[in-house]
Structure 1
Amino acid sequence: MFTRNLWAATAGAVLYTSSFTSVEALSNGVARLPILGYNTWNAYQCNIDETLMLTTAKLMKSLGLLDVGYNYVNIDDCYAEKNRSASGYIIEDKVRFKGGMKQLNSQIHALGFKTGIYSDSGWFTCGGYPGSYQNELRDAKTFQDWGFDYLKYDNCAIPYDSITRQGIIGRYQRMADAIAQLSAKTKKTPMVFSLCQWGWSQVWLWGATLGQSWRTTGDIAPAWNSLTFIINFNSFITQATDFYGRNDMDMLQLGNGGLTYEEAKSHFTAWALMKSPLFIGTDLSAITPDILGILKNKEILAINQDDVIGKSISPFRWGINPDWTSNSTHPAQYWSGPSKYGTVFMLLNTLNEPSTLSFNLTESPWIRAGRKYSIRDLWSHTDNGTAVRTFTANNVPPHGVVALLLNDAGDEPDGLFPACSVWWQCTDKNGTRVGG
């Protein structure tokens, strides 16, 4: 957790695609695909207890969220006593979690879910509870003994440099090593390790060596400008996401107020197709059928959970912006990427009025010239004929989205003019330019 304001102040200086180099992911047997689940922070912050956690798990099951893949129920900050025990262990809050974490986890696991917990690389968590610095192995064992499957690890209240003699990587490495050491000793599956480090440390360059996901920006807010900021920032680092490691765009803010229905669809589509983990941050007792329908879009979720291709979609045109220019209010509008189901497209209307979005199919590197393509609309769940050379979406609502799946449907018709869809690049074998 971190305020957006400090991060936003630095956003204008970020241009980093030219220096990006991929790193080998930590393939330790957990979180090969993005994780889907629930996290308490956005809806409840510190107002959590064991009854809320169990009720939330039961609601997730009764609402059908478990059936479509949301199988983690995660506790965020503020679950502990303010002080460790005399022997140095984190203790559950004796009032709010009086039954103990082990019993709570057993009950939630019995419903079919996995569970997650939270800690911090510093002396204290962001909420002022015990952090894990110098207690990494002790805490990892505590979390495992309690029955947790996942650890979100924050970066507040860090010790003085004269104590750590480390940078950010070194502080996170301590817990990564503790999780690996514990797994080797107990022969149990290691906890998923999620790095909540907020972006300006270029975490996308090194996070994959330590954990399965990493936060790339400050905390999300239920507002369109927050969504566009996060989408724009992540549009430059899509290369970092693949199996076992991915850019974490923060929690889903659907249903918390502040977003229109169309904005909620855009939010979910961008997060899912960019292969972010999908953690619901909404009070499920107040969720509307429309928002539930967005969260349960099986066709979008299937692409997020693609077990053949782990890459994110990426921009192929930058909307109203000059090429490669950062604009946090109007990020890229035209995106595509491969999947085992076909070529995925996301068209995002970043304008405040309805807009017609049109593109040449071969602007996407995943499309072959000279072919026609069948069109599947991933929101209407309809097959919409074929596209030849171009596709146009008319009257996309303000801040709305179009999500498509295109598949090769054979050769395009003979006799089309010009001979090439990108005519100014097309030349006859005798050197004559074709079309124009």
Structure 2
Amino acid sequence: MVLATWKARGFGLPTIASGGLIIWVISLSQFLPVCALQNGVAKLPILGYNTWNAYQCNIDEDLILNTASLMKSLSLQDAGYSHVNLDDCYAEKNRSAEGFIVPDKIRFKSGFNSLTNKLHAMGFKAGIYSDSGWYTCAGYPGSFQNEARDAKTFQDWGFDYLKFDNCAIPYDDIIREGIVGKYERMSDAITQLAKTSGKPPIIFSLCEWGWSQVWLWGKNLGHSWRTTGDIGPDWFSLANIINFNSFITSSTDFYGRNDLDMLQLGNGNLTYEESKSHFTAWALMKSPLFIGTNLSAITPETLSILKNKEILAINQDPVVGTSISPFRWGINPDWTSNSTHPAQYWSGPSQNGTVFMLLNTLSEPSTLSFNLTESPWIRAGRQYSVRDLWTHTSNGTAVRSLTIPNVPPHGVVALLLQDAGNEPDGLEPKCSVWYQCTDKNGTHVGG
């Protein structure tokens, strides 16, 4: 378990204090304005499929097309999952004599133009993978010093999306630039290619793992950026990712977003409740949502989670692009980093009301309760209708507070609250949260 105290929405150099407490020293430069990339594509988080979690290197053109067919037949495409993305291992181990990446001659014998044409004909966008270093993470050709060539190759093959990884980094005396410059090379190549080709720019997703505070600079270069290492198929991995991202939610908006990595639903040992929490947190934090499940073996329960229209509508909100954020940590004091017990109480605005996520991080059922105005998006003196985004029921009206009993272990509650007018007259105490609540004569109220 990692336990740390965080003093602001940013990170700096860690200092180890007595008792193992990690205190982070914050640099003011981390809060300088960032100019976002606004090139007309990917305003909303991308929904789709990625091959890595289920298949790693065991991919071929038949599997890709079969997956796309299953996405249609399972109505995942209708739910908004629009991309089918290849990950690593699709190429020959060596470039051609002319320096081009070559598709694996056996597994992709028809070539990528044939594959992307078929995906486009089915109504999907197509995505591909490369690396900012010499090689990909599985040892295939990376794009370092071939950025312009590879960007054009991917476009010529018909791909719409590029996931760009962080393995096989060149020696310092060769690269002679920082991590930002290493990713800027491909970002610039994609921008220039769009200008010369007249085609929409390839959607650029940085897979940098967060080591260099990518949430502070990634918005200049791409449309999403990985903030942590790879996800694992267990609750500890999910809790760790939720905890880490709870401190950087302000980085996400229409012009770039924190990428919490691919969905692990149906993989590993996640319970049904943990899978719901996984999907809810990823969707409401406005992460891209890439399915990583073997769709030929998907269960009805997993499918129902992936197709929750009310949760997906928040992720794809065309009016509000920001993430939910914690308003109270719950088990731990506010602004405490705990990789096994992240923040429990979250909220954020949406086009249709205020969204709440309540997360039970305990291994036993728990009652979760809060005062409405703890959320900055709730108005004092008003009452709110309550919509449960998992049971798809309207659950009456909340006045001042809400209590949800018996939330399952590692379970989640997702609510949409809509203003329903003034609260009833004569309620006591005069304020639901009475700290500094004061009568006009100066008398403190409540407490």
Per-residue CA distance 1:367-421 (angstroms, 9 max, x = gap) = 0000000000000000000000000000000000000000110110111111111
Match of 1:232 in 2: 243
What secondary structure sits across from 2:336 in the alignment?
A: coil
What secondary structure sits across from 1:423 in the alignment?
A: coil
Shift of 1:424: 3.2
Per-residue CA distance 1:31-56 (angstroms, 9 max, x = gap) = 10000000000100000000000000
Moved over 6 A (4+): none
Q: Is the 8 A contact 1:30 1:244 kept in 2?
A: no
Q: Is the 8 A contact 1:266 1:400 kept in 2?
A: yes
Matches for 1:252-263 after TM superposition, within 5 Å: 252-263=263-274
Match of 1:5 in 2: none
Per-residue CA distance 1:42-93 (angstroms, 9 max, x = gap) = 1000000000000000000110000011000000000000000000000000
1:209 to 2:209 alignment: no
Match of 1:200 in 2: 211
Shift of 1:257: 2.6
CA distance in structure 2 between the aligned counterparts of 1:296 and 1:14, rounded to whole angstroms: 41
Per-residue CA distance 1:121-180 (angstroms, 9 max, x = gap) = 111000000000111000000000000000000011011110111111011010001001
CA distance in structure 2 between the aligned counterparts of 1:197 and 1:223, rounded to whole angstroms: 22
Unaligned runs of 5+ in 1: 1-9
1:223 to 2:259 alignment: no
CA distance in structure 1 between the aligned counterparts of 2:351 and 2:211, rounded to whole angstroms: 33
Per-residue CA distance 1:175-228 (angstroms, 9 max, x = gap) = 001001111000000000000001120000000000000000000011000000
1:47 to 2:37 alignment: no
What secondary structure sits across from 2:182 in the alignment?
A: helix
Match of 2:370 in 1: 359
Matched to 2:440, the amino acid is K
CA distance in structure 2 between the aligned counterparts of 1:314 and 1:157, rounded to whole angstroms: 35
1:59–1:83 distance in 2 versus 1, CA, 3 Å: same
Match of 2:395 in 1: 384
Q: Out of 94, 97, 103, which is 2:114 matched to? A: 103
Matches for 1:37-436 after TM superposition, within 5 Å: 37-436=48-447
Matched to 2:104, the amino acid is D
What secondary structure sits across from 1:380 in the alignment?
A: coil
CA distance in structure 2 between the aligned counterparts of 1:16 and 1:42, rounded to whole angstroms: 36
Q: Is the 8 A contact 1:84 1:91 kept in 2?
A: yes
What secondary structure sits across from 1:326 in the alignment?
A: strand
CA distance in structure 2 between the aligned counterparts of 1:245 and 1:14, rounded to whole angstroms: 28
Q: Is the 8 A contact 1:354 1:395 kept in 2?
A: yes
Match of 2:9 in 1: none
Shift of 1:24: 2.5
CA distance in structure 2 between the aligned counterparts of 1:412 and 1:16, rounded to whole angstroms: 43
Q: Is the 8 A contact 1:207 1:213 kept in 2?
A: yes
TM-score (norm 2): 0.94
Matched to 1:382, the amino acid is T
What secondary structure sits across from 1:38 in the alignment?
A: strand
Shift of 1:319: 1.5
1:13–1:426 distance in 2 versus 1, CA, 3 Å: closer
1:164–1:44 distance in 2 versus 1, CA, 3 Å: same
Matched to 1:62, the amino acid is S
What secondary structure sits across from 1:425 in the alignment?
A: coil
1:109–1:167 distance in 2 versus 1, CA, 3 Å: same
Match of 2:37 in 1: 26
1:366–1:381 distance in 2 versus 1, CA, 3 Å: same
Matched to 1:171, the amino acid is K
Matched to 2:281, the amino acid is A
What secondary structure sits across from 2:404 in the alignment?
A: strand
What secondary structure sits across from 1:112 in the alignment?
A: coil
Match of 1:3 in 2: none
CA distance in structure 2 between the aligned counterparts of 1:310 and 1:17, rounded to whole angstroms: 26
What secondary structure sits across from 1:405 in the alignment?
A: strand
TM-score (norm 1): 0.96
What secondary structure sits across from 1:157 in the alignment?
A: coil
Q: Is the 8 A contact 1:17 1:237 kept in 2?
A: no
In the comparison of the two structures, how many residue pairs are matched? 427
Q: Is the 8 A contact 1:151 1:194 kept in 2?
A: yes
Of residues 344-353 and 416-425 in structure 1, the stretch that sits farther from structure 2 once superposed is 416-425
Q: Is the 8 A contact 1:16 1:236 kept in 2?
A: no
1:330–1:345 distance in 2 versus 1, CA, 3 Å: same
Matched to 1:391, the amino acid is L
Per-residue CA distance 1:276-296 (angstroms, 9 max, x = gap) = 000001100000011000000
Q: Is the 8 A contact 1:419 1:435 kept in 2?
A: yes
Shift of 1:15: 4.4
What percent of counterpart residues are identical?
Answer: 77
What secondary structure sits across from 2:305 in the alignment?
A: helix
Shift of 1:13: 5.1
What secondary structure sits across from 1:138 in the alignment?
A: helix
CA distance in structure 2 between the aligned counterparts of 1:430 and 1:201, rounded to whole angstroms: 53
